[in-house]
Amino acid sequence: RKEVEQDPGPFNVPEGATVAFNCTYSNSASQSFFWYRQDCRKEPKLLMSVYSSGNEDGRFTAQLNRASQYISLLIRDSKLSDSATYLCVVNAEDSSYKLIFGSGTRLLVRP
């Protein structure tokens, strides 16, 4: 089983749609959770950290379910500029520095 699993997509949605991504992780001892976005041939950029209480940043909402070991990202009112690959990231069991990246979920927002 992969340490961090994501549906690769692509998710193809119209502008204005709401889309949700899920991610599961295998290490119950993980403490740090993040969503990054990566545009084609660019570096990953931090979208948001994910806290146990959940957090929201504008159109983006992240949730953490420790019991089920999954993380979600909800994007409301999708924009064309949201088209990217979204990477779920979790720290490894033995180190807070060792970030494990999921393979990413590709989102395509069409006009």
Partner 1 sequence: DTEVTQTPKHLVMGMTNKKSLKCEQHMGHRAMYWYKQKAKKPPELMFVYSYEKLSINESVPSRFSPECPNSSLLNLHLHALQPEDSALYLCASSQVRGFNTEAFFGQGTRLTVV
Binding site for partner 1 (CB under 8 A): 31-34, 41-46, 49, 51, 87, 91, 95-99, 101-104
Q: How far is the CB of 65 from partner 1 (least distance, A)?
A: 17
By beta-carbon proximity to partner 1, the closer residue of 6 and 78 is 6
Q: How far is the CA of 4 from the CAs of 76, 101, 105, in angstroms?
A: 24, 7, 12
Minimum distance, C-beta of residue 54 to partner 1, in the bound complex (Å): 14
Q: Which is nearer to partner 1, 75 or 104 (CB)?
A: 104
The DSSP letter of residue 16 is T
- Give the C-alpha separation, 24 to 38, whole Å: 19
Neighbours of 105 (CB within 10 A): 22
If the CB atoms of residues 5 and 72 are measured against partner 1, the closer one turns out to be 5
Decide the pairing of beta strands 105-110 and 11-14.
parallel
> Least distance in Å: CB of 111 to partner 1?
25
